[in-house]
Chains A and B, each alone.
Chain A
């Protein structure tokens, strides 16, 4: 069973469109994250949710809107896509279990290409 799963894995779309990426974790974790890896391979945090509440919101354009319907899911919706949004988006989860070490577990990533 995949611990942190993201869909879709690949997404190609035109500038100006709206798209969503979904993430689900079956680890029973309380905290979920979105990270962005740009073309230079730098990984930066975008958002973090703990038990459906937003706890980290880095300097991200408000065209990006995360939504957490429950603690096992964290979706990312992007409005009015721009060329610079092309990147790989990673979902991750951690925490909330007895004896938790704080280790983060990542999904396989969703590669977004904006044309």
Chain B
């Protein structure tokens, strides 16, 4: 059974600092891995998707890396802004049918 751990559980940084969010998973046989953002009381917004054959994906200030063999993914957010405050969730996908296994998330607060 896939277990997903996200470290740290919470993070508070001043605006402008870079953020590093870690995700580890126990079963390296994944189809892909998705990073999401969840704002309080809201749904999940997909940030980045990394296929199992890829090492990283980038979108604007966001960069996600994947080391499948060691069961790790890292989300980097450059030059953080207060609008980046949210909970970030990592979710590896076990097969093409789409069962995502979610971590508990990292709650990020960026202070002005």
Contacts and interface: CB of A to CB of B under 8 A. Distances in A.
Contact of B100 (A45, A55, A95, A109): A45
B99 A45 contact: yes
A102 B31 contact: yes
Question: Which one of A55, A90, A102, A108 has the greatest number of beta carbons of chain B within 10 Å?
Answer: A102
Given A31-B97, A90-B43, A103-B32, 4 more contacts: A95-B98, A103-B46, A104-B46, A104-B98
Given A102-B31, A102-B49, A55 B43 contact: no
A80 to B, nearest CB: 27
Interface string B52-72: 000000000000000000000
Top 3 nearest A-B pairs (CB, nearest first) are A108-B43, A106-B44, A43-B102
Nearest to A6: B43
Contacts of A108: 42-43
Nearest to A32: B98
Contacts of A105: 46
B110 interface: no
A48 B97 contact: yes
B104 interface: yes
Interface in A65-115: 90, 92, 94-95, 101-109
A6 B55 CA distance: 34
Nearest to A91: B43
A56 interface: yes
DSSP class of B's interface residues: helix, strand, loop or mixed?
strand
A29 B21 CA distance: 30
A103 B49 CA distance: 7
A63 interface: no
Contacts of B98: 31, 33, 48, 56, 94-95, 102, 104
Contacts of B32: 101-103
Contacts of B87: 41
Contact of B43 (A42, A101, A106): A106
Contact of B99 (A56, A90, A103): A56
A25 interface: no
A43 B89 contact: yes
